[in-house]
Structure 1
Amino acid sequence: MTIIDGKRISAEVKQELKEEVDKIRENGGKIPHLAAVLIGDNGASETYVASKIKSCEQIGFKSSLIRRGSETTEAEVLEIIDSLNKDEDVDGFIVQLPLPDHINVDKVIEAIDPKKDVDGFHPINVGRMAKGLPAYISATPFGVLELLKRYKIETAGKHCVVVGRSQIVGLPMSLLMARNDYPGNCTVTLTHSRTANLKEICQQADILVAALGRPEFIKADMVKEGAVVIDVGITRVKDETKKSGFAIKGDVAFEEVAPKTSFITPVPGGVGLMTVAALMYNTLLASKKAIYS
């Protein structure tokens, strides 16, 4: 059993990006600029955005944070997006989710210029990805692919079971694992909370991607011997033994599942760290006009 070290791989990716940005700076080129829009006072969102800004500093990107209160209207958010779309210095930007309930998430995502949609959520980028065209791939699935690639995990001909059908992770993950590429060429089964015989389907997986959002949902009896298990879940669970009062749990019951696997990602220290690295990679692509010329 090998634990996939997301911390090490994300550091490698960031270092590679930093070296490229250093060359751009030496040659007098434009430094990539990532902007983030943060609406409201969600604690987890604050943490995620802070880590993204910190990563920009480490790599050498320029970064901007547009922060507004939870009372901000949908129209005001759309005005911010329009301004960022038109700002020629901003290469890419994200609107941190979740948004307050009174704001239509789909309307916000669709307002983002696909050329600056480094989160890869816009329907045009999702559609291009599905067709195998150049596109910004959403950060979490991109991070998973990079982990599989750097650990040289064989995927061709394997049965990949994805648990969770979200538009951010599960759905794009299933499309990417089925594509004619590496990582890919899997036979993919996309499952969710209402899938009949879910346990039996998971037991067939050579590669199991857990992205349901239910802490420790995947138990040892759902995993076959030698499977590759990728845990995308990240949930705060009350734990009075911790100074913070909570523990971070994935969708996989790690201690009981790990001994059965050939490779497994931990939580924390696995996929989560890769999502930020993937976002940085997409931002570099945007600055180079590598997806949309």
Structure 2
Amino acid sequence: MKILPILLLVVLLAGCSAITTTVSPVTKATTPSVLIKQAETLYKQEQWHKAVALLDAGVNQFPEERRIVELRSEIFRDWEMRKRNKEDWILVYETQSLKEKIPYLEDLATIDPENLITKSRLLFWKNLLESKVTGLIACGSVHLHLDQALAEECATLAEKIKPTEESAHLLKKIKQSHAAQKRTERSEQAVREKQNTAQQREHLMKLARAQLSDDAIPDAIASLNRLLELVPDDAEGRALLDQVIQLRDEKVTRLIAFGDALYREEQIEQAVSVWESAEKLDMGRQDVAARIDRAMKVLERLREIQKQP
């Protein structure tokens, strides 16, 4: 009967040895720069242990090259922190699981109060749970500025298990860090919005100038009004808008006078066409609309007279 487990173990070990990880081939470095490049490639592939081993060999091969020592320290530090991060998340989930089990065991102890084994289990689990507090607080402190989500999970869990000054202080620091991060995010957002506003303002100014060059005065006025909605105190935009409005008003005045002259000479259709051009420049001019309306009534009466036998 003992042979079967042994055979199973052998099969499992053989299977594990068959598992291979694809790693970029590393040739023997001829210079420190080549060795550093090889180590950085392994690092990017998340092959930390191989990168560290390569750099350890490089320290012996090129003992005067400080870049190798510095890169080795950087990669090793990152490797250790990544391992610590995973271990602490495991600590969190293991502790949460243990904490969730205890109420069921307490219920069982209530149902069967004379059962010494149940009482012993409950005592053991409670002591085990409390023993996690030190590790959770250490977790919160280590990851405070590296992984705030993990730090908060650890500190909150420690506070729920056994409130202490340490856990309360740590939670306060995490809260302050959250507030600082939000302030930074708001500041960065404000900078982005300001940059975006500046870009939109520049676009509208260029568009208005191009429209003015094309004699598209109403479009230029609309663009400048949008610019001033975006940046109400924009002096350049306000000055250009005043200039364009003055230009428009002068054109409208000339067109009205020209239309009036045509109307007096009984060139009514031509007068209407000129007044309509003025109306397109300034849709708010009631005097222009009134002239067009009066002329159209005259034209209608003329047509009726022409139809009479």
TM-score range, shorter chain: under 0.3
Give me the TM-score of the superposition, normalised by structure 2. Answer: 0.20
Q: Which structure has the higher relative contact order (CA within 8 Å, separation 6+)?
A: 1
Larger radius of gyration, structure 1 or 2? 2
